Chains A and B, each alone.
Chain A
């Protein structure tokens, strides 16, 4: 059974004001246990609005969100419980740190879950390890850290709740290429180690192409594509009309293929590209 199922979901902001806007229209899709799904779309396409429905922060004007087959908006309790089962890490999470020490900030979520001290301690240490924070940092003030470190503390704060579904809204936004890679790698590592379901939101194809099992493309509040990476990338023209670009290296490879080189066009990262070219050269183009 799907762990998360969205049925006929619609949402409007500012109902009854001149600023009323339909942010989501009739969304249907589901996420399987252990899957890694990427939600992609141009800025303003409704990605952040959509994921806030997954842990009942927003309540749909129409439609349902089913977690393990149960409607999360059934009652106040079920909505509150959903917050622990579906961990949501917002965009720029570093601006939401507040505790006096890094340790306490990571422990905020687990403490709200009502866990005992030893369990909280275990989870904080584990989460810190996932994001690569050293123990020597635990007693520092989160406000004294660098931007990248702050972000990792904030991500650890959500991971420490050990949610069944982890959702990250633009986790790599505003970072330099190396910082992006570090964050994406640690998410990949987290997923491999814990086997949990991960949903990653991004507006960059480059970031998610190599890590996601499936891509959900949002356009103006609707789902445009919901398919494997290869399948979605084959619609280059439509994607471009939605303001999205397929990775540059993929573009080069499909061009090369058109010129008669027998290369695999489903190549998304520079590393894979290097390997593919080597393979091609060794085989002498057969």
Chain B
């Protein structure tokens, strides 16, 4: 069901990773994604695997939740790595059948790709799991604030993003409620052919849109009543401060970068 989507969800907590400054966390996540792409052999890949698993462990978010959140992407992972098997024909041939050739090189690349994608998802989903959407947009807008100089309204865009993110759970909840209400009046939502199904969406989407517009107007009025003005320099209730934790995470990421480069250099590339 719609409610099972956990990607992008925030799980409040008090861990080291939760307490990192949002700006630092964004930079660290970005750098570690780059580093995951820099890996050229299984040793350097092992380093980022350890980094990803350790990060999840430190965040105190259960592995079960993280794996469940990846459920929807398993298909993509399997597809990409299976394709890799046939794209690479180096190494000894294991199977040669019609036009398909499976080689050890192909298998290695497939495994490599799968692990790499899983690491990418682990690290990036940890960002949203441990940072509230508002803090996250706040962090992004701070990092992008130099763009204000070239007349890009970063703060206004950040406010739009904050509001959009804020209302995603509300909308999901609302869809759930309206669906139940129409089901209670005998609407058959999950059976029938394509046209019947499309028609069954009308009683759900019309109230959803009507309510969303109503809510948007109310919010806009409320913001205007409080003299909201996107252009003014606005102060914040929660000031962002760098702490020793951010320094530690920068050191970790730098050491990891050095390690990956050295391992790549000394042990050659398989990919």
Contact = CB atoms under 8 A, between A and B. Distances in A.
Contacts of A158: 184-185
A80 B187 CA distance: 9
Given A16-B64, A16-B68, A18-B11, A96 B181 contact: yes
Given A95-B207, A97-B207, A112-B188, A57 B62 contact: no
Contact of B185 (A17, A18, A95, A108): A108
Contacts of A161: 185-186
Interface in B158-182: 177-178, 180-182
Contacts of A52: 180
B207 A57 contact: no
Interface residues of A, number: 27
Contacts of A157: 185
Contacts of B65: 17-18
A84 B188 CA distance: 12
A112 B3 CA distance: 27
Interface in B180-239: 180-188, 202-203, 206-207, 210-211
B135 interface: no
Contacts of A95: 178, 207, 211
A261 interface: no
Secondary structure at chain B's binding surface: helix, strand, loop or mixed? helix
Nearest to B174: A95
A84 B186 contact: yes
Interface in B38-79: 61-62, 64-65, 68
Contact of B207 (A84, A87, A89, A96): A96
B203 A108 contact: yes
Contacts of A57: 180, 183-184
A57 B177 CA distance: 11
Interface in A84-140: 84, 87-90, 93, 95-98, 108-109, 112-113
B72 to A, nearest CB: 15
A57 B187 CA distance: 12
Contacts of A267: none
Contacts of A90: 177, 180-181, 184
Interface in A177-192: none
Interface in A157-184: 157-158, 161
Nearest to B177: A90
B184 A88 contact: yes
A55 interface: yes
A83 B183 contact: yes
Contacts of A112: 185-188
Contact of B206 (A18, A93, A98): A98
Contacts of A113: 186
A280 interface: no
Given A16-B64, A17-B65, A90-B177, A96 B186 contact: no
B184 A87 contact: yes
Contacts of A109: 185-186
Contact of A93 (B61, B181, B183, B211): B181
B124 interface: no
A225 interface: no
Interface of A: 14, 16-18, 52, 55, 57, 80, 83-84, 87-90, 93, 95-98, 108-109, 112-113, 143, 157-158, 161
Given A52-B180, A80-B188, A90-B180, 7 more contacts: A17-B68, A55-B184, A90-B177, A93-B181, A95-B207, A108-B203, A109-B185
27 contacts: A14-B3, A16-B64, A16-B68, A17-B6, A18-B61, A18-B62, A57-B183, A83-B183, A83-B185, A83-B186, A87-B184, A90-B180, A90-B181, A95-B207, A95-B211, A96-B178, A96-B181, A97-B207, A98-B210, A108-B203, A109-B185, A109-B186, A112-B186, A113-B186, A143-B210, A161-B185, A161-B186
